[in-house]
Amino acid sequence: MADTRRPLSPHLQIYSWQVQMVTSILHRATGIALAVGTLLIVWGLLALAGGEASFGQFKTCIGSPLGLVLLFGWSWALFYHLCNGIRHLVQDTGAGYAIPQFVRSSWLSVIVSVLLTVAVWAYVLSAGGAA
């Protein structure tokens, strides 16, 4: 049995906040949210296969205020995880590890994800809303 009284690393509140830390935490958080959100896709497909009545029920649920809030949250989570995921794939090649580059790409992930989310929902609104 390993000695479990090993020294622990300091907890989150010990560190001062910086964007690289936020992007890392958000990548995990959005990953977990997207894993849960995948169940919405499963539900939608089962409803579509189940017939017109069940699909109508599904549309009513995701068109409700709570449904739209979840959809909005998941759309940002998807775009954030996508942008930051591409950032990580680039970093996996060994590129972009100088601290200024690391900070810049962190901000780029956050900003581009917000822009993509705004663009998608602007399109939805211009097409007459989601519901």
Partner 1 sequence: MSAKDLRNPLKRALGLGSAQAGVGHWWTQRVTAAGLVLLGLWFVITVLGLLHADYATAKATVAKPWNAVLLIAFLVTAFWHAVLGLQVVVEDYVHTRWKEVSLLVAIKFLAVLGALASVLAVLRIALGA
Residues that bind partner 1 (CB under 8 A): 28, 31-32, 34-35, 38-39, 41-42, 45-46, 48-49, 52, 55-56, 75, 78, 82, 85-86, 88-89, 92, 120, 123-124, 127-128, 130
CB of 23 to partner 1, least distance (A): 16
Question: Would you mind telling me the total number of residues written for the chain in this entry?
Answer: 131
Q: How far is the CB of 29 from partner 1 (least distance, A)?
A: 10
Residue 110 Cβ vs partner 1, minimum distance, rounded to whole Å? 18
Q: Label residue 127 left, alpha or beta by phi (over 0 means left) and psi (-120 to 50 means alpha).
A: alpha
How far apart CA 81 and CA 76 sit, in angstroms, is 8
Please choose, from the candidates 86, 62, 90, 85, the residue with its C-alpha nearest in 3D space to the C-alpha of residue 74.
62
CA 123/CA 49 separation, integer angstroms: 27
Return the number of the residue (97 or 100) whose C-beta is nearest partner 1.
97
Q: Is the CB of 89 or the CB of 99 nearer to partner 1? A: 89
